[in-house]
Structure 1
Amino acid sequence: MTTKIATLGPAGTFSELAARNFAKRYTASNIVFYPTLRRTVDALDDGADIIVVPIENIVEGIVSPVVDSFVRRPLQIIAEATIPVRFSVVMNHPRPQRLYAQFVAQGQCSEWLTRHAPDIVTTASNTEALSLLQATKEPAAALIPEHLLDGGRVASTTFATVVHDVTDVAHNETRFVALQSAQPLALPKLGTEYKSAVVIVDDADHPGLLLEHLQAFAVHQVNLLSLVSRPTGQKFGQYHFFIEFEGHLLHSQVQAALSAIKLRNRVIELGSYRYSSSNSSCS
């Protein structure tokens, strides 16, 4: 049976790299690309078995549309993977008059672009930036993912100049998650380190709300890994909380902490999954 994996397109993106990473888990798989994160998440309605989306970048932070989707529809995180983010600038002329770059990539390479870039033309994707460069005869450049060169879509020798690794942060990474429709949790395996995620829904706001949540985790010795507030979209001052922490949702100390929180607020449990290769604690 072929597993249908949906991810953000077009082909050649970091999302495709992550999707291919997850695809190795299945005997047969088919990767389908969608034009936006919203459409990607909703691909479960189109028959996708798994969706692969970015959830956090070291430089840009949390990917808000993905976190917001956890409140909008029942989803379950089943795995995560961390993908290194490296960018290069390719030129068809030593002195380009313009540079094509995707809007998020510009933020991750702002230092180099500020010092060296001519007029910047913003594109919808990294692969579009490359395509525009290949289609023009004017002196131009493009900011593209490093993995598109040589072993990827194009040979570096086809360009007049290539500047490698122009990313602001040398260890820049993006964390991706694989999602499926919500299902009963599998029992935790002995000897496996897990992390879990929940959303605490703001439907009972009161003074000290966040402190109560933090104390519940602290009392039951559950170590937090990330905590992000997201506006509910109802009115100013109302927020949902996306929280990741060590342990499996079926572990006794985790259940005890969440039970205390559920006395006052609704909790959406998003799943338990193994650590990716790069993680850091926030508490």
Structure 2
Amino acid sequence: MKALTLGPEGTYSHRATQAVADEIDFVESVTSIVEGVAGGEYERGVIPIENSIEGSVTESLDALADRNVAVVREIVTPIKHALLAQTSEFDIVASHPQALAQCREYLASEYPSAKTEAVASTARGVERAREDPTVAAIGHPENAGDDLQVLAQGIQDSTSNATRFVVLAPETERSDAGGKSTVIVYPNTNYPGLLLEMLEPFADRDINLSRVESRPSGERLGDYIFHFDFAAGLYEERAQEAIDELRGLAENGWVRVLGSYDTEHVV
């Protein structure tokens, strides 16, 4: 099976994707991954969806709302950040914006004069550190290799730091089996109590919502797309009834059902 994820080799996305496929290609944007799966070029794609410290990955939410794919699996992996550099003397710390944010307190305390540089991935930051002795990187300690020193480990601001990834497949592979489901709703309307009306179909059926997120639709100011993760499989009658109610509320917009799936923890 061939999969597509964020590169280059050595990213946390790469580590998660190794649980899915042996043949892995890399790109540097989530949108490209979703397009690759939606267009049928790849059997699977793996994208980060949420971090326990920094919250949802907005590029992932927007890409899922724009293209037809299925979510067939969820992978949760702990994030163990290390500071990697050629020497202990450096001026810049380069990494993915989420990694920089996850280590904000550590950097402010230990390296207050160092500038931060956002790059496409943690692995790209490691490449920068290999090329330039004035640059340090934040990444997994195994990425140090022979060229870089591990100056410090476990530098994330929370010891419970973890990231959720979702495994994408073509829309035709959407499954109703699994303990968790994802639905995206664009009501194409706005009035007092709309959000409450979208939550009630789940509450009335004792379905736990594990995530509710809104993103601008891009159509007009104050117009939103809503992402729902809930703890029920689409094979359950109560889940289908809740989604049918959402379709009624979004009769001027649309409802996209990404599927049901189970969760796997990967170290």
TM-score, length basis structure 2:
0.89
- Provide Cα deviations, 1:234-257, integer angstroms capped at 9, x if missing partner: 112111110011111121111111
Q: Determine if the alignment matches structure 1 residue 135 to structure 2 residue 131.
A: yes
- Structure 2: distance between partners of 1:203 and 1:160: 52
d(CA) in 2 for partners of 1:58, 1:41: 22
Aligned-pair Cα RMSD in Å: 2.1
Helix, strand or coil: the match of 2:156? coil
Paired residues, number: 260
Unpaired runs of 5+ residues, structure 1, are 24-28, 279-283
1:217 is aligned, of 202, 210, 214, to: 202
Return the offset for 1:159.
4.8
> Which deviates the most, 140-149 or 66-75?
140-149
State the structure with more CA Rg.
Answer: 1
Whole-angstrom distance in 1 between the partners of 2:130 and 2:13: 22
What is the aligned partner in structure 2 of residue 34 from structure 1?
A: 27
Query: 2: CA distance between counterparts of 1:183 and 1:81?
Result: 21
TM superposition score normalised by structure 1:
0.84
Determine whether 1:79 maps to 2:84. no
Structure with bigger RCO (C-alpha 8 Å, 6+ apart) = 2
Deviation by residue 1:36-88 (Cα, 9 ceiling, x = unmatched): 11111111226111110000011111111211122211111000001111111
Distance 1:238 1:89, change over 3 A: same
Greater Cα shift, 218-227 or 160-169: 160-169
> Is the Cα contact below 8 Å between 1:202 and 1:232 reproduced in 2?
no
Per the alignment, residue 146 of structure 1 pairs with 141
List alignment gaps of at least 5 residues for structure 2. Answer: none
For the residue of structure 2 that corresponds to 1:59, the secondary structure is coil
Distance in 1, matches of 2:176 and 2:184, equals 21
The C-alpha deviation readout for 1:188-238, integer Å capped at 9, x for no partner, is: 3xxxx6100101112233321111111111112211111001111111211
Distance 1:250 1:167, change over 3 A: same
Counterpart AA for 2:35:
D
In 2, distance between residues paired with 1:244 and 1:131? Answer: 36
C-alpha distance in structure 2 between counterparts of 1:171 and 1:147, whole Å: 19
Q: What is the alpha-carbon distance in structure 2 between the residues aligned to residue 160 and residue 259 of structure 1?
A: 55
- Aligned residues with identical type, % of pairs: 27
